[in-house]
A and B are shown apart, each in its own frame.
Chain A
């Protein structure tokens, strides 16, 4: 089946540790995105990538990093510089950057 997978579903991290969230898609989409969702709020864009080996900062990129070495994969690293990382993280992809986005099931990150 085609789709987007995110792992793990739940992730716990100690303060001061970096952690990487996985996002994989087999839809052959060029564009991929990372969003953060906090309770009672809409989605905020962290990073996006229009094509392999290229990515752009979104509205809240500080404390996060990404890579796009393969078309199928767009991992997000939450670094220790991110002041308040506890949140729900959603990955999405689209055929190109102007198309509708398809979402993965999300990862809930909790900093202990």
Chain B
């Protein structure tokens, strides 16, 4: 059974650009969550989606957006990139929504903003 797949794994952007990150969950999983990981702030929750609906959103500016498609694949977008957006972005999928579902994490997309 394939795990959570995130693309691209590494990318470099410059300030002001935008970026789209993709996440393919484990087959059959309908819940997808996104987290940002930085050395200073640690792991911070971005979004949670279940069956194409956003169930929860973290405390991030409106430049951060996401969506989930009917096949459960998810994308997140960051517009007008800032240096502070440099981070590892982790996607996790779960078989069910809510706190009891086990999260399976992908290896992440490492974004560097210059």
Q: Determine if chain A interacts with chain B.
A: no
Q: Which B residues contact A (CB, under 8 angstroms)?
A: none
